[in-house]
Amino acid sequence: MWHNSYFFVPAVLLAAAGLYAARTHQRVRHVPHPKGLPGRGLPLLDTAFLAGGPGRVVDTALVRMHLAEQIVINRAGLVTLTGAKPYDAVDQAVHDAVGAAGSRELGALRRTVMRSAAVEEIGDRLADRGLMRRPERLQRARTARRLLWLAMLDVVVFAVLALLLDDHEALHERPDLLIPGFLLLLGAVTLAATSPAKGRITPAGQRQLTLMQGGTPWTPSSGVSPRLTGGAMLGAVALGGLAAAALDDQELVAAMLAAAAEEEAVRQAQASSSASSSSSSSSWSGGYSCGAADSGSTHHHSCGSSHHSSCGSSHSSSCGSSSSCGSSSSSCGSSCGSSCGGS
Domain ranges of the chain: 2-30+134-193, 31-133+197-343
Mean pLDDT lowest among 113-117, 190-194, 325-329: 325-329
Banded pLDDT at 317 (limits 50, 70, 90): very low
Contacts of 116 (CB under 8 A, 6+ apart): 90, 93, 96, 97
pLDDT for residue 1:
47
How much is the average pLDDT of 269-292?
A: 51
How much is the average pLDDT of 325-330?
A: 35
- Residue predicted with more confidence, 286 or 206: 206
Contact at 8 Å (CB) between 88 and 72? no
pLDDT digits (tens, 9 = 90+) for 141-188: 999 999 999 999 999 988 888 777 766 555 556 667 788 899 999 999
Q: Which residues of the chain form beta strands (DSSP E)?
A: 71-73, 78-81, 103-105
pLDDT for residue 284:
66
Mean pLDDT lowest among 89-93, 138-142, 197-201, 287-291: 287-291
Distance CA 113, CA 58 (A): 7
138, pLDDT greater than 80: yes
Contact at 8 Å (CB) between 225 and 321? no
pLDDT for residue 90:
95
- Residue type (1 letter), 51: A
Contacts of 331 (CB under 8 A, 6+ apart): 299, 300, 301, 305, 306, 307, 325, 337, 338, 339, 340
How much is the average pLDDT of 287-313?
A: 36
Contact at 8 Å (CB) between 54 and 312? yes
pLDDT for residue 60:
93
Helix (H, G, I), strand (E, B) or coil at 31: coil
How much is the average pLDDT of 274-301?
A: 42
pLDDT digits (tens, 9 = 90+) for 38-73: 888 899 999 999 999 999 999 999 999 988 889 988
pLDDT for residue 68:
87
